[in-house]
Amino acid sequence: MNRKLSAIRSVTSNQPAVAFLCIELRRHLPVFLSLTGIHVLCSLFFVWSRNPDFGFASLLAGMAIGIVLPVYLFVDYYREFVLGERVLVHTLPLRTSTLYAIKSLVFLVGNLLVWCGGLVNVFWNPTGLYHTRIVLSSAPAWGVSYMFASKITGTFCALALIGLAIATGKQLRNRAMTHTVIALLLLATIGILAAQIVGETAHWSIGSSSMQAFTQYAGPLTISNVFDTMPGDINTTIRWNSVLLNLGMAFAAGLAIRILLQSCKYEIYGK
């Protein structure tokens, strides 16, 4: 027992970043694994049974996870960096911006893990997107690469935008004003991204996937462009500019977060 305590103290004192990473993994990994398992099971039942009812259940599960997961992330960010509920964590000899970066890394990996659970339906289902559209395109590998790149940058941007809203709202002492600023900043930044993406087509839908085109991302928002006629080659719907927009917005938000989280509002006792 004494050896275990000594080891923990050694890690905490010599490698505080590793200690915080371990703490975050223990807190959040069970949640991400549970959601991934639900996503995979629903997709497998649909693929194996070919029953439309299971297809509807799989769709509902994906929609529910798409709502629950962003709320879960936002609440944890809020409790950590606005309410400061875990006081002991903030006594670690780490800057608040470093704590945010480590937490975001765990959230990024967890989000992508849950998303990969839904790829069972995409790649294994004979009537899924890969077999009916991507494999018949001019360059299947190019389409798959874009699918992963757009999701990764979209998730990266989503975490950065949430962090920016949280860090900005915290600068205000009035709680009502804090909530207002957080909500307005999230709506404004996501709206700017979405406007650039949906402006390329006359019709689009939010929060759904389409067999016509690759899914686009405006941070946490999922967008499907809708065309009057089915494009012959799905690769013609690839929009690398949306990837660059998400990436650019994420880096800009990350720089602002670093500045805000290292201000005197956050850094106490010389931390």
Examine residue 228 and state whether it is found in any structural domain, yes or no.
yes
How far is the C-alpha of 203 from the C-alpha of 57, rounded, in Å? 26
Examine residue 35 and state whether it is found in any structural domain, yes or no.
yes
Residue 122 exposure: Cα atoms within 13 Å on the Cβ side: 17
| Cα-to-chain-centroid distance, residue 63 | 14
Question: Tens digits of per-residue pLDDT, 202-218?
Answer: 567 776 667 778 888 88
Examine residue 190 and state whether it is found in any structural domain, yes or no.
yes
**Domain of 151, in residue numbers:** 2-261
Examine residue 268 and state whether it is found in any structural domain, yes or no.
no
How far is the C-alpha of 249 from the C-alpha of 85, rounded, in Å? 29
Q: What confidence score (pLDDT) does residue 174 get?
A: 85
Question: Residue for token digits 């000899």?
Answer: 93
Measured in degrees and rounded to the nearest 5, phi and psi for residue 230 equal -65, 120
The least confident of 68-77, 225-234, 250-259 is 225-234
Q: What confidence score (pLDDT) does residue 202 get?
A: 59
Output the CA–CA distances (angstroms, integers) from residue 185 to 53, 106, 173, 189, 191, in the order listed. 39, 24, 17, 6, 10
Complete edge-to-edge strand list for the sheet that includes strand 221-226: 203-206, 221-226, 216-218
Examine residue 29 and state whether it is found in any structural domain, yes or no.
yes
Dig out the tokens for 36 from the structure: 């991934």
Question: Tens digits of per-residue pLDDT, 42-83?
Answer: 778 777 766 665 666 677 777 888 889 999 999 999 998 888
Examine residue 19 and state whether it is found in any structural domain, yes or no.
yes
Which letter does DSSP use for residue 134 in this model?
A: I
> Domain total for the chain?
1
